[in-house]
Copies of this chain bind each other. A is one copy, B any other.
Amino acid sequence: MVFVMSRSITDRIVLGGYPHPKPPHSSLLLMSYFSFRVEHEDTTSRARSATFSTPHGDVQTPAFMPVGTLGTVKGVDPGRLRDTGAQMILANTYHLALRPGEQTVAALGGLHEFMQWPGPILTDSGGFQVFSLAENASIDEQGVRFRSHIDGALIELSPERSIAIQEELGSDVAMVFDHVVALPNDRAVIADAMQRSLRWAERCKAAATRNDQALFGIVQGGLDPELRALSAEKLVGLDFRGYAIGGLSVGEPPEQMIATLDVTTPLLPVDRPRYLMGVGRPIDLLEGILRGIDLFDCVMPTRNGRNALAFTAEGPVRLRNEQHARDRRPLEDSCLCPACRHSRGYLRHLFQANEMLGPILVSIHNLTFYQRLMAEARQAIAEDRFAALVARHRG
């Protein structure tokens, strides 16, 4: 009953166009929109399997979210994307705010209707892109001013503005706007950015008005265990519906990322989803799950797919290599994706001839590979053999 009521409010928002009515704040409704139920804790590691329920359906975790930067997972239509096994996807607030603009997305019915993705969607806050893509970014306590990397237009982003944009987009999960710094960096710089991110997280929480959108905090603090612990403790005190670990996979060695997970993850509440942002390689996902991570996103399967690099159980295959020219085998014998109906020789030809179908097919294959890996992880957790699975993949 409650669920039906929730959906009808969602539908009204979606169908109502821009500006949509904001539902009143209600903790009862809030409870009904989201839940996170841990179903099994692996006895051989800190891995767990769970169901994360959102207004647009359930996500079986551990889960990998394909990246739909501009409201499309590059080259993959929503039907093909669903067929890879994807349950929840990510879209980028920064990119969508620039093109086509959040008000246009809202006018077109919100992000789900816009993309025709019926499942859950998470939007990032724009923080990471502001610091990596924007030109002439200047930052103060209020927020960030920068020039669009598309047309040089002057834009301002702040905790309140990021939340407002994400509410217009209408994602199921919004992220707090954080101050991201490059690594390595001075401890004082990292500490300052972490502290500012905490103040901004509080402002984001105060600014959020949609009950059908969960807000996740983001733990920062670079590779410093004390800063990470402080960040985690303060964020947990703010009581977010989920917690992300940010500022990793930015060029540091994998063992440093793992060491940071080792000290950070245990400080996060067991009854909330944990999301490792922007990670990563297949083995990184497994190492994260081993330490209690539930959600991941990364451009690697699609970006590599566009560049002719295919993931397989036997390791990566670089399809442009001459050796594949007359190879009649598929990328993987047991893979059921559309790419694996073709020979490696054909896929190579598509890339050599600059045919769009090459990036399309190998993106789909790589996404399928990642989703298969997550299904394998969930199965291993259910059977209390996850540590052994990771050991095998470490090879």
Contacts and interface: CB of A to CB of B under 8 A. Distances in A.
Interface of A: 70-72, 74-79, 99-100, 104, 107-109, 113-116, 325-326, 328, 338, 341-343, 345-346, 348-350, 352-353, 355-357, 359-361
Contacts of A104: 325-326, 345, 349
B349 A71 contact: yes
A109 to B, nearest CB: 6
A107 B357 CA distance: 21
22 contacts: A70-B353, A70-B355, A72-B355, A72-B356, A77-B338, A77-B361, A78-B341, A79-B338, A99-B349, A99-B352, A100-B325, A100-B345, A104-B325, A104-B349, A107-B326, A108-B326, A109-B328, A114-B343, A114-B345, A114-B346, A114-B349, A116-B341
A120 to B, nearest CB: 19
Number of copies: 2
Nearest to A325: B104
Contacts of A345: 100, 104, 107-108, 114
A357 B76 contact: yes
A74 B356 contact: yes
Contacts of A100: 325, 345, 348-349, 352-353
A142 to B, nearest CB: 29
Given A70-B353, A77-B360, A108-B328, 6 more contacts: A72-B350, A72-B357, A76-B357, A77-B338, A113-B343, A116-B346
Given A108-B326, A116-B341, A74 B349 contact: no
User: Which of A78, A104, A107, A349 has its CB near the most chain B CB atoms (within 10 A)?
Assistant: A349
Contacts of A328: 107-109
A108 B346 contact: yes
